[in-house]
Structure 1
């Protein structure tokens, strides 16, 4: 499906300070008419720190461990807030540990937080390389076998399979999917329909409130087997177990759908040429720190005098009103930019519900944050000159787009960049192997659980 990357020309000026959600949505509709033309859905999940803290108060680590694989299990729905830095992994982990008598009761919950930290570390190393197959498919097929475009009936929830169609509709309408549903839907797209994982990843990034190229793309690669040792598949029995049979009971294809059969039978049908063994030993060895290569801490500029005048860039990876950038410079002017080219990037276009969620996060930022629309580096350079700032301050991010903008500002405005970080999930910067999550977790677990001697 082709999409224009050019924003519509209109005279609507972005602003903050809305009386209610309806007023905010009306303003965003006028600001982004081409985005709303692709769909008017607004998620019931609200953005912002207040909603994030309410969700955080509701977590139950022991119950999460027992029920997380069930669609009606005690999942947290914290991922959109983690994605945009409204909550931090360390903050969520610390809260989880306070809720249990013994850390082991929160171990599985913290392990799942570790997956996000792991994906972010891989993203830091690979950058836009997360869009490329990290390894060959282990399915017996070459990448050329897979279609480049997502079939329209999958995106529109019209395949005739009750489960897949409902997952597609939930994705479109709410911007959220249970992790198990994501895996089933991804496996169906790649292995049953033989569509390249990149097409599915783009689809998810358009709609998921927590969509980011790290967790999203690398999870799709895990399912596809281009970043795992084998493809992920499932059968109807597995789906019925974890959904309570809610889809199969009403599905017109029950008893004759493509998910019927044992795992051995499905693998024979899906992969008739045989599965290709893979141990994750080749392509990214040097890039991902195999063989104990140290993972150096990111370069954060040395502390500057707090008396200097600064401009804060509030980017979409760090929308916490209590973030370090705002704590360090509570009265400094700040800028958030609606970047039209980013929102309309064909590789990962934003749906209207994602725009609304972002705007709700921005609404709760300090009053010093202004909003603008345009090319971020240009607007930041102009703002630096306007307020007479001696440097630009921003929250650190592993996102290559963020660093490309910062590099451009540094070059054009000729001011230094100060990057500030939150408390890390792992108080550790020694050797760690990122080739597989299991290798990362062997080192990371004791630090993530507060047993590594670092600050937790």
Structure 2
């Protein structure tokens, strides 16, 4: 492994190690320190760390291959030119603002106009939109947003993950392959996520929350906002119709790779008892799965123009620290420590820029890792390894335990007069900020936004948000200039 960025402060008892001979040594350290990983039965055959490496160098290498034109034309295919940058964006190794500028630069380098990059910019807009929705709903993203469009009662769905899905032994080549990639890599193409989610919810009648937790346990880009609201769209609790797929759809966008080797593939193009459960028209699938005469058509991803429910009721957690826990960043602090969290593991973190060289701390939150904080799942070893590799790129002390307790002890050790951090969307940030801010002055700096929108933003539909945001985003793009012949 590359050597970690050196620290300018002496180590203390309890600091986590920052030097490893190789990734295997890192995995051994993590497994020993967070010993429950990877004990779950759905991960026992998986390699300890993902082949996707964390850190700025890996992110920049993937960013260098960015092709907005190829993305627009092939992104729905499993072998399409998707960016695979979502884990780095999720953790702030790359920000949406950096991604926006990278798209603009890629277009300018090839002399292309706005239209060539609109699809990729639009998808980045979806990420920004979901973050804004999460900030509004808080933990409400775990609740059904609408009555299920499938017409089935909640009691029709089971709360546990079936063993054959968890273990990758359904006998369906596509489903078992998706499970294998999820567990072994910690990443799935968006279309594969939709297919796997639909199979879990509609064919196997599993609650969408169960599937969402399963994904969040393993996905390196495990973002509750995009993840949960996408599961709800598939389930029909945040959409007018449940999302279904059939074998023709899967073959088209997977190049037929699964059906050719599947023992349950239909013979001669016709389904047979015990064969492929996806071999039917959408109308027949709807009748079979939902016992309804009403035909179901296939909605087009992504989750566009779905009605957003009202803002959370009083008492529900929302992102952002309470006002009394935040002071204006006006230079009041002379000797702060920096609180680094999992949404800002990159050089664009405004806390680094405002106070370069100051002692910084990241805490592996045991409650979050073990799944005892809120409704989230325990975190897999692969997710921990990816985070750790990102952190080794930064001049930051690593600890494990309770975040507020560790941070306040770190501040006392360095004689700090306060704490500086960057704003996070995760609702737990508000609770932690309140505890920290009650003991020390806390400055919360705003990261550079994907798009600056003044005044209230209508989040009832993506189209309403994008109607305002699109023009503002593209205002910073200078297209190719026409010259005289």
TM-score (ref. length: structure 1): 0.89
The equivalent of 2:259 in structure 1 is: 248
Residue 465 of structure 2: aligned partner:
440
C-alpha change, 1:54 and 1:452, in structure 2 (3 Å) is closer
Which residue in 1 is equivalent to 2:279? Answer: 260
Matched, 1:335 2:361: yes
- What is residue 318 of structure 1 aligned with on the other side? 344
User: Could you say what secondary structure the match of 1:348 adopts?
Assistant: coil
1:50, distance to aligned residue in structure 2 (A): 1.1
Asked if the contact 2:322/2:430 (under 8 Å) is kept, the reply is no
- Indicate the residue corresponding to 2:77 in structure 1: 70
2:246 alignment partner, one of 221, 235, 238? 235
CA distance in 1, matches of 2:82, 2:343: 23
Q: Matched residues in 1 for 2:287 and 2:347: separation? A: 53
SS in 1 for 2:127: helix
Counterparts of 1:155 and 1:118, CA distance in 2: 31
- Tell me, in whole angstroms, the C-alpha distance in 1 between the residues paired with 2:322 and 2:458: 16
Find the counterpart in structure 2 of residue 381 from structure 1: 408
Q: 1:440: Cα distance to partner?
A: 2.2
Q: 1:20 to 1:35 in 2, by over 3 A?
A: same
2:321/2:429 contact within 8 Å kept: no
Say which SS state the counterpart of residue 66 (structure 1) adopts: helix
Residues of 2 paired with 1:162 and 1:276: CA distance? Answer: 28
Deviations 1:13-37 (A, max 9, x none): 6221334333322322322222133
Question: 1:361 aligned to 2:386?
Answer: no
CA distance in 1, matches of 2:83, 2:252: 21
C-alpha separation between the residues in 2 aligned to 1:117 and 1:275? Answer: 35
SS of 1:117 mapped into structure 2: helix
C-alpha separation in 2, matches of 1:250 and 1:229: 35
Distance, in Å, in 2 between the alignment partners of 1:344 and 1:73 is: 35
**Structure 2 residue aligned with 1:47:** 54
Cα RMSD after superposing both structures: 2.4
Matches within 5 A, 1:262-301: 262-273=281-292, 284-287=309-312, 301=327
* Partner Cα distance (2:476, 2:143) in 1: 36
Cα distance in 2, alignment partners of residues 322 and 432 from structure 1: 25
* SS at 1:260 equivalent: coil
Q: What is the distance in 1 between the residues matched to 2:409 and 2:398? A: 13
Shift, 1:12, TM fit: 8.0
The more displaced of 320-329 and 228-237 is 320-329
Counterpart contact for 2:186–2:220, Cα < 8 Å: yes
C-alpha contact (below 8 Å) 2:321/2:431 kept by paired residues? no
d(CA) in 2 for partners of 1:405, 1:274: 51
* Matches of 1:308 and 1:19, distance apart in 2: 38
**Distance in 2 of aligned mates of 1:34 and 1:297:** 31
Contact 1:321–1:364 (CA<8 Å) still a contact in 2?
no
- Secondary structure in 2 matching 1:394: strand
The separation in 1 between residues aligned to 2:185 and 2:477, in whole angstroms, is 39
Q: What's the offset of the Cα at 1:79?
A: 0.3
SS in 2 for 1:34: coil
* Distance of 2:386 and 2:75 partners within structure 1: 25
Q: Give SS of 1:95's match.
A: helix
Instruction: Give the drift of 1:82.
Output: 0.6
| Rounded Cα–Cα distance in structure 2 between residues aligned with 1:287 and 1:338 | 29
Match of 1:15 in 2: 17
| Cα pair 2:283 2:295 within 8 Å, conserved | no
3-state SS, counterpart of residue 419 of structure 2 = strand
Distance in 1 (alpha carbons) for counterparts of 2:321 and 2:407 = 27
Hey, what's the Cα distance between the residues in 2 that align with 1:122 and 1:431? 13
After TM superposition, give the deviation of residue 341 of structure 1 in Å: 1.4
Q: Aligned partners of 2:20 and 2:348: how far apart in 1?
A: 21
Tell me, yes or no, if structure 1 residue 151 matches structure 2 residue 162.
yes
* Partner residue, 1:424: 449
Partner residue in 2 for 1:4: none
TM-score for both structures, normalised by structure 2: 0.84
Change over 3 Å in CA distance of 1:297–1:403 after alignment to 2: closer
Alpha-carbon deviations, 1:409-447, whole Å to 9, x = none? 112x2x221112222111113343222323322222222
Q: Which one of 191, 204, 211 corresponds to residue 200 of structure 1?
A: 211
